[in-house]
Amino acid sequence: MKAVKCSLISAGAALLLLGLSAPLSFAGGAKESSSSGTTTITYMNITARSNVGSSAYATGLYGAIDDYMAKHPNIKIVSESLDQTSYQTKIQALAAANDLPDIFDLKGSWVSIFANNGWAVDLAPWVNADAKWKNGFTPGSFAPVIRGDKIYGVPSQGFITSIVFWNSALWQSIGYSDFPKTWPELLDAVQKFRANNVVPFVMGNLPNWPAESCWLSTLGDRLTGTAWTQSIIAKSGAKFTDPDFVAALKTFQDLATAGAFNKDINSLDVDPARQVYYDGKAAAFVDGSWSISAIASQAPADVKNATRVAILPSVPGGKGDPNTASGGPAWFNAMGASVKDPARQNAVVDVIRAITDGRQTAITASLGGVVAYTDITFDSSKLPPLMVAFNGLMKNVKPVPIYDAYMDAAVIQTMNVGLQSLLIGAVTPEALAEQIQAAEDKVSAN
């Protein structure tokens, strides 16, 4: 028995030694050498380098990064990109473990969590000191990341999250040469499309943010007015149970009941929804400005040429300005709290500046991206026609807050999941409003 134990122990020990010694011999190559005086800045984001060329923002972003590294040979920017869902899991784990990268993408609705836990560095001293940089952004761009006198991030790109992309040929076939300007007209068009077996609006609400971010942020504003949204954000009196917001939920549900959406709304993803539109089986879809480049590069020629852009129509009795669409930056560049050395903080801010100011946005805008930093001149000759049409439309449209860029993550989660039920008639507008308000109360109580 003793011999047994001995041989087992020695086998175990050998295995352990093997396990410990092998890493030592391999690890050498992986570690950064700091002897050459190079500063390595880590940057975690949701924009993969492999999208350079196909995505305007990725091209602008990595163009700016490469340019910066070429001009500053002593700075090395190491970026790690993940898709949104994975990114969200990882950044929260890293934050909880207090090991955030130097620069990371911060979503508007996460700001409170990151600020309250001290995970992000206040960038106000640098942003306020550089007036040209600060004022180059469209007014209100910083609003989601401001808490008191602190600024927790710098806008990375601009968005309009609620644009109606409509197939003019299909709308023509039911007698509409222009997109409806009022809600009753819209409901009438829905009836006519249903009679022709065409899906009026295709929505891929599987990831559950589209109904809220692309529809309700604008539809809500039509009924409540922006002052209500501001009051919700500032927690100064407005409630989700207010009649105007309930009316917005009801209008949304009525639209769904009228048959405006596809039946598989909650099981269809965003990309496949766009395919339904490309196939000519849907007359329109409401999505963000990011879809402009998707249509330009993916849609078949006939659909591409027939596609027009519009905003959601006005709703009778609504308190909001009908010439608005939800928009603004939803993602921000933030500095991780582990950066403490002042010299290093300066270096990190300098990189943030390079990836958010004209060096990035001039390229992004010239390729058809919507930017937040607008103090630039760029070559507009290569823009896709739809982008030109969009720019024309936006001249008269005012951006209003995107719900998920401003409101707290827990509230948005309740709203997003609730909207999935609302659109299939599984919950009443009143009950959903109460659920959202309950989530809001819980957040406010903490």
Partner 1 sequence: MRRDIAARAPANSASRIRGAIAGILGNAVLGIFSLTCVFPIVWMFYSSLKTQTQFALSTLSLPVRPILDNYVAAIQSHMGLYLLNTLRNTAISVALIVLLSFVTGYFLSRFRFRGRNLLYAYFLIGMLIPIHALLVPMFIQLKTAGLLDSWYTLLLPYVGFGLPIGIVLAESYVGGIPRELEEAAAIDGSGFSRTLFTIIMPLAAPVLAAIAIIQSFAVWNEFPFALILITSDQWITAPVGLSTVFRSEHFTDYPGLMAGIMTTMVPVLIVYFLFSNRIMKGMTAGAVKG
* Distance of alpha carbon 48 from alpha carbon 61, whole angstroms: 10
Contact 255, 187 (CB under 8 A): yes
CA angle 20, 24, 25 (to 5 degrees): 120
* Distance of alpha carbon 209 from alpha carbon 231, whole angstroms: 22
Site for partner 1 in 59-88 (CB under 8 A): 80-84, 86
Question: Contacting partner 1 (CB under 8 A), which of 257, 297, 380, 444?
Answer: 297
Judged by beta carbon, residue 65 or residue 433, the one nearer partner 1 is 65
Site for partner 1 in 262-281 (CB under 8 A): 270-272, 274-275, 278-279
Judged by beta carbon, residue 90 or residue 192, the one nearer partner 1 is 90
Determine, following the binding rule CB under 8 A, whether residue 99 of this chain makes contact with partner 1: yes
Which region among 14-22, 351-359, 363-371, 387-395 touches partner 1 (by CB under 8 A)? 14-22
Determine, following the binding rule CB under 8 A, whether residue 430 of this chain makes contact with partner 1: no
Question: Contacting partner 1 (CB under 8 A), which of 35, 36, 71, 97?
Answer: 97
Judged by beta carbon, residue 63 or residue 418, the one nearer partner 1 is 63
**Token couple for 299:** 């849609």
Judged by beta carbon, residue 298 or residue 374, the one nearer partner 1 is 298
Judged by beta carbon, residue 55 or residue 229, the one nearer partner 1 is 55
Contact letters for partner 1, residues 211-250 (x by CB under 8 A): ----------------------------------------
* Distance of alpha carbon 107 from alpha carbon 129, whole angstroms: 24
Determine, following the binding rule CB under 8 A, whether residue 148 of this chain makes contact with partner 1: no
Residue from 216, 368, 218 nearest 289 by CA: 368
Contact 156, 282 (CB under 8 A): no
Q: How far is the CB of 333 from partner 1 (least distance, A)?
A: 14
Judged by beta carbon, residue 248 or residue 363, the one nearer partner 1 is 363
**Phi, psi of 73, deg, nearest 5:** -60, -20
Determine, following the binding rule CB under 8 A, whether residue 117 of this chain makes contact with partner 1: no
Amino acid letter for position 76: K
CA angle 173, 222, 206 (to 5 degrees): 70
Determine, following the binding rule CB under 8 A, whether residue 51 of this chain makes contact with partner 1: yes
Query: Alpha-carbon Rg of the chain, whole angstroms?
Result: 25
CA angle 182, 387, 365 (to 5 degrees): 130
* Distance of alpha carbon 247 from alpha carbon 241, whole angstroms: 10
* Distance of alpha carbon 171 from alpha carbon 185, whole angstroms: 12
Question: Contacting partner 1 (CB under 8 A), which of 7, 74, 172, 380?
Answer: 7
Site for partner 1 in 360-399 (CB under 8 A): none
Size of the site for partner 1 (CB under 8 A): 50
**Token couple for 81:** 């990109």
Contact 105, 325 (CB under 8 A): no
**Phi, psi of 160, deg, nearest 5:** -115, 120
Q: How far is the CB of 320 from partner 1 (least distance, A)?
A: 26
**Token couple for 378:** 């760029």
* Distance of alpha carbon 367 from alpha carbon 57, whole angstroms: 8
DSSP 3-state of 48: coil
Judged by beta carbon, residue 107 or residue 222, the one nearer partner 1 is 107
Contact letters for partner 1, residues 21-50 (x by CB under 8 A): -xx--xx--x-----------x---xxx-x
Which region among 231-239, 250-258, 294-302, 438-446 touches partner 1 (by CB under 8 A)? 294-302
Angle between helix 243-257 and helix 409-423 axes, rounded to 10 deg? 40
Determine, following the binding rule CB under 8 A, whether residue 149 of this chain makes contact with partner 1: no
Judged by beta carbon, residue 289 or residue 414, the one nearer partner 1 is 289
Question: Contacting partner 1 (CB under 8 A), which of 73, 243, 300, 316?
Answer: 300
Determine, following the binding rule CB under 8 A, whether residue 162 of this chain makes contact with partner 1: no
* Distance of alpha carbon 117 from alpha carbon 418, whole angstroms: 28
Contact 104, 334 (CB under 8 A): yes
Q: How far is the CB of 292 from partner 1 (least distance, A)?
A: 11
CA angle 89, 85, 108 (to 5 degrees): 85
Amino acid letter for position 126: W
Determine, following the binding rule CB under 8 A, whether residue 441 of this chain makes contact with partner 1: no
Question: Contacting partner 1 (CB under 8 A), which of 16, 17, 93, 195?
Answer: 93
Determine, following the binding rule CB under 8 A, whether residue 54 of this chain makes contact with partner 1: yes
Judged by beta carbon, residue 49 or residue 150, the one nearer partner 1 is 49
Contact 205, 268 (CB under 8 A): yes
Site of interaction with partner 1 (CB under 8 A): 3-4, 7-8, 11, 15, 19, 22-23, 26-27, 30, 42, 46-48, 50-51, 54-55, 57-58, 80-84, 86, 89-90, 93-94, 96-97, 99, 270-272, 274-275, 278-279, 288, 290-291, 294, 297-300
